[in-house]
Amino acid sequence: MQPKADPAEEGEAAHGDEAKGGAAKKGEKKGDKKGGDHGGGGEEADPTLGVIKEGPDGVTFYTLPDMVVNVQSTNGRPTLLKLKLTLEMHDHDLATSLQSEFPRMQDMFQGFLREVRPEELQGSAGTHQLKTEILRRVNMVAAPGKVDAVLIEEMLVQ
């Protein structure tokens, strides 16, 4: 399996440190269950698990680490899909829980995305279908919680 972390995420770690202050207060109990750092709510300091930020009107955003996947190509040439996704929800504790479940989600995404063909991603219909399928899979992991939306921040097919 290919590593999914991108060196560009080091810049995101700084943003995660800013959001960590509020997130650590709300998610301390969850952090204790993770077995991670127990001092000062350091559960979000690891950029390989993504970054949780508070948004407007009680919304929480969980930005996943960049994913790079080989996708099926009809011409036999290697084709890569790079995705940067953010999950939107109204439950901060759910975001913290999903962050600890990221390896499971990543595995689920890998299996699904490897079967996607580049032509299926073209146009707004392709993007909508991709978001719908990812949301469905994320909500299987989040149950009984609910993620409201998948936001595609970056999608590159090469």
Q: What is the DSSP string of the chain?
A: ------TTHHHHHHHHHHHHHHHHHHHHHHHHHHTS--STTGGG--GGG-EEEE-GGG-EEEEPPPEEEEE--TTS--EEEEEEEEEEES-HHHHHHHHHTHHHHHHHHHHHHTT--GGGG-HHHHHHHHHHHHHHHHHHHHTTS---EEEEEEEEE-
18-72 confidence digits (pLDDT tens): 443 444 433 333 333 333 333 334 444 476 889 999 999 999 999 999 999 988 8
Residue 135: what pLDDT?
A: 96
The residue among 111 and 150 whose pLDDT is bigger is: 150
Mean pLDDT of 78-82: 89
Residue 102: what pLDDT?
A: 92
pTM of the prediction? 0.68
Average pLDDT, the chain: 77
